[in-house]
Amino acid sequence: MSVFIIRRLMHAIVVIFVMSFLVFSGVFLVGNPADILIADDADQAEREQVIRDMGLDRPFYEQYWKFLVNAARGDLGDSFVFDEPALQLILERLPATMELAVAALLIAVVFGIPLGVWAGLKPDAIPSKIIMTGSILGFSLPTFWVGIMMMLLFAVILGWLPSTGRGDEITYVLGFPTSLGTFDGWAHVLLPATNLALFKLSLVIRLARAGTREVMHQDYVKFARAKGLTENRVVMVHVMKNILIPVVTVLGLEFGGLVAFSVVTETVFAWPGIGKLLIDSIGLLDRPVIVAYLMIIVFLFVILNLLVDIAYSVLDPRVRLQDVKA
Amino acid sequence: MTALNEEQSSLAVSTGVGVETPFKRFLSDYKESSVAVLGAIGVGVVMFIALFGPWLAPTDPYDLAQVSVLDSRLTPGETMMSGATAWLGTDGAGRDMLSAMIYGMRISLGVGIGSGIIALMFGCSIGLIAAYCGGRVDTLIMRVVDIQLSFPAILVALILLAVWKVKPNDPGYYAIFKIIVALVVVQWAYYARTIRGSALVERRKEYVEAASSLALSDQRVLFRHLLPNCLAPIIVVGAIQTAHAISLEATLSFLGLGLPQTEPSLGKLIANGFEYVMSGKYWISVFPGIALLFMIMSINLVGDRLRDVLNPRLQK
Amino acid sequence: MKVFRRLGLAAVVVTALTGPAMAADVTIGIRSEPSSMDPYFHNLGPNNGMIGQVFGRLVDFDSNQQIFGRLAESWKPINDTTWEFKLRKGVKFHDGSDFTADDVIYSFKRADGYTGGNSSFRIYTKGKTLMKIDDHTLHIMTEAPYPLMPNDLTTVMIMSSEAKGTGKPDVNMGIDTRDFNDGTATFGTGPYKFVEWKKGDRIVLEKFDGYKGPMPQPWDKVTFKFIKAEPARVAALLAGDVDMIDNVPTSDIDTLKKNANVALSQGVSNRVIYLHLDQQRDQSPFVTDKAGNPIDKNPLKDARVRKAISMMINRPAIVERVMEGVAIPAGQLLPAGFFGLSPTLKPDAYDVAGAKKLLAEAGWGDGFGLTIHGPNDRYINDAKIAEAIGQMLTAAGIPTKVVTMPKNVYFSRASKGGPDGTPEFSFVLVGWGSGTGEASSPLKSLLATHDPSKGMGASNRGRHSDPKVDSLIGQALATVDDTKRAALLAEATDIAIGENQGIIPLHYQVNTWATRKGLKYSPRTDERTTAYDLVPAK
């Protein structure tokens, strides 16, 4: 097992390396950040000076080599836009995104599982059909459109919730700064988190329903019923236990996606997380930030995959880690 | 239920569309759900619009000579300069919304299905190979998938935009190609991961061992035995991913990286509508959303039902 | 402080209502986040606006870009090459130290030698020698007569010579941009003190009680929130989360006008939106025949063709239908009221018949094909303007394709995407805001012959070139007498635009701010959003 984990961590390093090269060269191809950052009325000499200061006058291989050498020392470079360490910029903003992703995950699970199980137990009842048809809504419309419509309805027309931004009060829970320690924080997170959760909510409903329907036909459920257990107990214990495993594993993987792709939600709701940082950085071709961000995200994905594989082997003895390793 | 039964029923479906009995059974199974029938009708309507759009639309919204900003933001029912009535109003550039939505639906559907099919074929092959070969090949492929899944679509589209420079005499569909390529690059990994997951489970089952012990070629085992048994999840993922591709194209348009300004897809129309949400000009932002919702709902209702009908574990 | 007047939640949060006094706190939703609080790091609109509230300048622009004394009480040229500045007495920095001529000299030194920034203020500091006469008198000398001295000094902010930082001692006087971002060195003489900057979220400023100077201080605490998505900014105002927003999207102006709880303020900006046409290459890559095939001549080199294109553009229609009435048709580089304008140049009238006649005269009566390139996230409604021009030219017989892209790809390609770093496109849509508030800046950058060695024509993407125009600009930049200089600039504009059609001006942007009822914002031509231009309405 530990050999397996060490091997996977080595893979992670290779993957991060490949990612850094892809992103570095990709952003290099797109254009020169100095062309966007520099003041309109700067003359040509000033332009050249700025390009030199950023090291962008050097050939590609030289820039990349310098990046690698610094990265090996733990320095992922300074942001072109802010001239602050890229890693620090990302870490400063990570808690806000984490908080949004966790809130979204909670919404997806708390609403998704009961609705999905219900739809799976009574597949032909009208409410189940409404649930299933409604769940299609979750991935039919682009996030930005649903987000702004929600803002229009709940913030502008009804005035129930704040429109944009994160709560003012930051409290520390286990050393992590969060705005969720106050009511105001929750009021702020509710709209963006729901917006971000919609897609996952549909997914959870679908997984839970599919799982329930399959499990209901299994012999052990029939046996449990035959034993005369109440329907509640059958559902809560026997069915739940068996559908939770796939739901939890898929969500484990999807959590990475939530963090990585909160880009649009954060932009619409002006949420000060790393998704907004990424989109702003792409807009200004702030290469050090983009590269550092994606290195972190791909690392997150690899680690989550690893955890899921380990979880499988723990939960299901038939899966041996040798099966999925090299 | 044994593995043998599963194989039979799935094979019957995958190979037996032309054979009468299973197809009839499939039809009657499908018809049991009235919502799914509505979905099928919806898909029919969407297909009809997509195929015959240019004959259905009152105006040609992509012909710059016919569109004028002087007609912009007319409310539904107002008359345009050409004398035609804009039944659903006009957008910010003066296009008749109805025509633009009909044309846009064609493009969105084409982009969604086109990129979906290419990504599906590519992703499934890669995923099956990973599951079947195992070992280093599997590891390598899955790490590539990891990279791909974390690489944001917007960056892919941006790089394509900067590198793939369109010349003035290139045909107009190059822009659509570009988007399809970007969407395929973004999507194939989802298919690869999904099919690998189910193929890993199937691979251990008796029928695969049986097929292998008959000394059938790897290819034959992969595509004739493994693939059909992994189809159910692929159909679901496929229907969802098609929807996802269409909204992804909308999102790229929202970020300024989608289809050309003068030839908007449905997704681009929605992105254009974003800025009108607070303006009270509901027809610019809401109608394309409803059209997209209708289109994707229909596709997914059909997809859901197919999954249920085709899933042997649910047949009792 | 966010007010909890939310319907559904009101019962639960009654206790949250007790906060600091709200009367003099204000929250402003702005589109663009600055890139630094360092006054010399990045010469960029959002930075100059934000930092200018914390740091003072010797002289500054009022909301109409008219110059007034801020840290200087008076200034005048005492001979051809020397300007004398009398400094305001009794002014204190936020850290308590006194403001003297030494601080000005120190500030110029740091600005002039700045390394590692995104675009420096060197273009304004170079060639100037500062000499302290006494604590409150300063002489600034140049080699040659220099008329734009006060204009240049509206850009450089003054920091305290006693500021300490954490950077390497030999770089930027030992003070890093980081030291300004976290407040270590952020001590200016402005009406507002820097409190904090939460990146991606907000900047908070506080009233400086020891302020001495001409700026009003109506607010105790000002919070700037960065809300980039246009409708979200409007939503934030309508929902009462912010008291003011800038860059109100044109699509929402109509609705907001009808809203009794909202007040709008609009003002023309110093930004002109215009078209560059390729006047250099004999074969221009995006000029084709009507079917889109390459042709071996470049019609855009003919001034008559350029004039015809200008006449095919229905400017009032763009203003009315695309900009929703919020713009002014343009015939030159700056709107009325600015320095150095041509008194005679008017926007070209929409005249398709006349344009076709001109084309025929030039030998292009059958028309040709064009592609217009434009950004889609840089100027107000930029992509829609490009599309409208595509419609108008196509309808008038020049089939025009429209290609728009985000600014991060667009500007690199438009400026030097072609072979050998030449502009890639043939017909491009761009905008220009005059930072100095007069006509020499756009003339120099857009219409003077492209010449890197002289620093001329840096943004001349159409490569317009006319020795007469070059020499007039050169003369103007060395003429201290305002009347004479204005005449020279006007003549240069007349030739470059009126005769040569070197660029095609479309319209001047009008910027809109929206406040909740009870506040009033004086719209600024330089597009800045500041707390001192916002006052409670009477």
For residue C294, give the nearest of B94, B161, B169 by CB distance: B169
Q: Does B210 touch chain C (CB under 8 A)?
A: no
Partners of B292 on chain A (C-beta within 8 Å) are 140-141
Query: Residue A166 above 80 pLDDT?
Result: yes
The reported pLDDT for the residue numbered C42 is 92
Check C458 against A284: CB less than 8 A apart: no
Within a domain: C246? no
Q: Which of A124, A145, A303, A305 to mutate to test the interface with B (most CBs of B within 10 A)?
A: A145
Domain assignment of residue C400, given as a range: 269-509
The reported pLDDT for the residue numbered A1 is 67
Query: Residue C22 above 60 pLDDT?
Result: no
pLDDT, tens digit, 9 for 90 and up, residues C157-200: 999 999 988 988 888 889 999 999 999 999 999 999 999 999 99
User: What percent of the residues of chain C are helix, what percent strand, and what percent coil, each to the nearest 5?
Assistant: 30, 25, 45
The reported pLDDT for the residue numbered A167 is 84
Pair of tokens at residue A36: 């966007």
Check B93 against C376: CB less than 8 A apart: no
Q: Does C59 touch chain B (CB under 8 A)?
A: no
Please provide the average confidence, as pLDDT, over all residues in chain C.
91
Q: Which of A129, A140, A242, A299 to mutate to test the interface with B (most CBs of B within 10 A)?
A: A140
**DSSP symbol at C443:** I
Higher pLDDT, A176 or C119: C119
C 190-249 residues with CB < 8 A to B: 230-231, 234-235, 238, 249
Contact by Cβ (8 Å): C212, C94: no
CA of C288: which chain B residue's CA is closest? B168
Contact by Cβ (8 Å): C190, C215: yes
Q: Does B236 touch chain A (CB under 8 A)?
A: yes
Of residues C197, C234, C245, C179, the one with CA closest to residue C53? C197
pLDDT, tens digit, 9 for 90 and up, residues B26-53: 788 888 888 889 999 999 999 999 999 8
Minimal C-alpha gap between A158 and chain C (Å) = 8
- A5 to each of A9, A10, A255, B142, how far by Cα in Å? 6, 9, 21, 16
- Other CB atoms within 10 A of residue A164 CB: 26
Partners of B159 on chain A (C-beta within 8 Å) are 26-27, 29-30
Within a domain: C261? no
pLDDT, tens digit, 9 for 90 and up, residues C210-259: 999 999 999 999 999 999 999 999 999 999 999 999 999 999 998 999 99
pLDDT, tens digit, 9 for 90 and up, residues A288-316: 999 999 888 888 888 887 887 777 667 66
Return the minimum-mean-pLDDT range out of A101-105, A286-290, B215-219, C429-433. B215-219
Minimal C-alpha gap between C178 and chain A (Å) = 7
Taking the C-alpha atoms of residue B85 and residue B99, their distance in angstroms, rounded to an integer, is 11
**Bridge partners, A118 (sequence order):** none
Higher pLDDT, B172 or C472: C472
Return the minimum-mean-pLDDT range out of A244-248, B91-95, C409-413. A244-248
Higher pLDDT, A58 or B32: A58
Measured in whole angstroms, how far is the alpha carbon of residue B242 from the centre of its chain? Answer: 2
- SS3 state of residue A178: strand
Q: Which of A78, A144, A163, A189 to mutate to test the interface with C (most CBs of C within 10 A)?
A: A163
Mean pLDDT to the nearest integer, C328-341? 93
Mean pLDDT to the nearest integer, C320-327? 93
What CATH number is associated with residue C456? 3.10.105.10
Burial class of residue C290 in the structure, from the number of CB atoms within 10 Å of its CB (0-12 exposed, 13-18 middle, 19+ buried): middle
C 318-377 residues with CB < 8 A to A: 377
Taking the C-alpha atoms of residue B163 and residue C372, their distance in angstroms, rounded to an integer, is 19
Within a domain: C95? no
Partners of C413 on chain B (C-beta within 8 Å) are 162
The reported pLDDT for the residue numbered A220 is 77
pLDDT, tens digit, 9 for 90 and up, residues A8-32: 888 888 888 998 999 999 889 888 8
pLDDT, tens digit, 9 for 90 and up, residues C436-447: 888 999 999 999
Taking the C-alpha atoms of residue B227 and residue A292, their distance in angstroms, rounded to an integer, is 39
Measured in whole angstroms, how far is the alpha carbon of residue C528 from the centre of its chain? Answer: 8
A 94-133 residues with CB < 8 A to C: 96
Neighbours of chain B (3+ CB pairs under 8 A): A, C
Q: What is the 3-state secondary structure (H, E, C) of A249-300?
A: HHHHHHHHHHHHCCHHHHHHCCCCCHHHHHHHHHHCCCHHHHHHHHHHHHHH
- C65 to each of A323, C62, C76, C248, how far by Cα in Å? 72, 5, 19, 21
- C-alpha radius of gyration, chain A, whole number: 24
Q: What is the 3-state secondary structure (H, E, C) of B212-268?
A: HHCCCCHHHHHHHHHHHHCHHHHHHHHHHHHHHHHHHHHHHHHCCCCCCCCCCCHHH
The reported pLDDT for the residue numbered A257 is 74
Measured in whole angstroms, how far is the alpha carbon of residue C17 from the centre of its chain? Answer: 40
Q: Does C479 touch chain B (CB under 8 A)?
A: no
A232: confidence class by pLDDT, cuts 50, 70, 90: confident
Q: Does B200 touch chain A (CB under 8 A)?
A: yes
CA of A92: which chain C residue's CA is closest? C199
CA of B243: which chain A residue's CA is closest? A140
Within a domain: C456? yes
The reported pLDDT for the residue numbered C470 is 96
Partners of A269 on chain C (C-beta within 8 Å) are 232
Query: Residue C12 above 60 pLDDT?
Result: no
Q: Does A29 touch chain C (CB under 8 A)?
A: no
Query: Residue C293 above 70 pLDDT?
Result: yes
**Bridge partners, C202 (sequence order):** C198, C225
Query: Residue A322 above 60 pLDDT?
Result: no
Query: Residue C1 above 70 pLDDT?
Result: no
Partners of C122 on chain A (C-beta within 8 Å) are 46, 49
* Fold of the domain spanning B103-316: MetI-like fold (1.10.3720)
**DSSP symbol at B117:** H
Q: Does B256 touch chain A (CB under 8 A)?
A: no
Query: Residue C48 above 50 pLDDT?
Result: yes
Minimal C-alpha gap between A3 and chain B (Å) = 15
Neighbours of chain C (3+ CB pairs under 8 A): A, B
Taking the C-alpha atoms of residue A194 and residue C96, their distance in angstroms, rounded to an integer, is 48
Check B154 against A263: CB less than 8 A apart: yes
pLDDT, tens digit, 9 for 90 and up, residues C495-530: 999 999 999 999 999 999 999 999 999 999 999 999
Minimal C-alpha gap between B187 and chain A (Å) = 13
Check B277 against C231: CB less than 8 A apart: yes
List of residues 6+ apart from C532 with CB closer than 8 A: C53, C191, C192, C215, C216, C217, C218
Question: Number of folded domains in chain C?
Answer: 1
Minimal C-alpha gap between C220 and chain A (Å) = 18
Taking the C-alpha atoms of residue A111 and residue B206, their distance in angstroms, rounded to an integer, is 39
Partners of B161 on chain C (C-beta within 8 Å) are 405-406, 409
Burial class of residue C400 in the structure, from the number of CB atoms within 10 Å of its CB (0-12 exposed, 13-18 middle, 19+ buried): buried
The reported pLDDT for the residue numbered B239 is 78
A319: confidence class by pLDDT, cuts 50, 70, 90: low
The reported pLDDT for the residue numbered A321 is 52
Higher pLDDT, A220 or C160: C160
Pair of tokens at residue A63: 């820039």
Characterize the bridge pairing of strands C244-245 and C25-30: parallel
Contact by Cβ (8 Å): B72, B93: yes
**Bridge partners, C129 (sequence order):** C141
Neighbours of chain A (3+ CB pairs under 8 A): B, C
Of residues C43, C168, C173, the one with CA closest to residue C113? C173
Q: Does C514 touch chain A (CB under 8 A)?
A: no
For residue A15, give the nearest of B147, B296, B314 by CB distance: B147
The residue ranges of chain B whose pLDDT is under 70 are 1-21, 232-233, 236, 311-316
Query: What structural domains does chain A harbor?
Result: 2-72 (no CATH), 87-325 (1.10.3720.10)
pLDDT, tens digit, 9 for 90 and up, residues B239-284: 778 888 888 888 888 888 888 889 899 989 998 999 899 888 999 9
The reported pLDDT for the residue numbered A62 is 93
Contact by Cβ (8 Å): C460, C450: yes
The reported pLDDT for the residue numbered C257 is 92
Query: Residue C142 above 90 pLDDT?
Result: yes
Partners of B200 on chain A (C-beta within 8 Å) are 323-324
In single-letter form, the type of residue at position A66 comes to: K
C471: confidence class by pLDDT, cuts 50, 70, 90: very high
The reported pLDDT for the residue numbered A324 is 42
Check C402 against B260: CB less than 8 A apart: yes
Q: Does C413 touch chain B (CB under 8 A)?
A: yes
Burial class of residue B120 in the structure, from the number of CB atoms within 10 Å of its CB (0-12 exposed, 13-18 middle, 19+ buried): buried
Burial class of residue A232 in the structure, from the number of CB atoms within 10 Å of its CB (0-12 exposed, 13-18 middle, 19+ buried): exposed
Taking the C-alpha atoms of residue C138 and residue C74, their distance in angstroms, rounded to an integer, is 11
In single-letter form, the type of residue at position B33 comes to: S
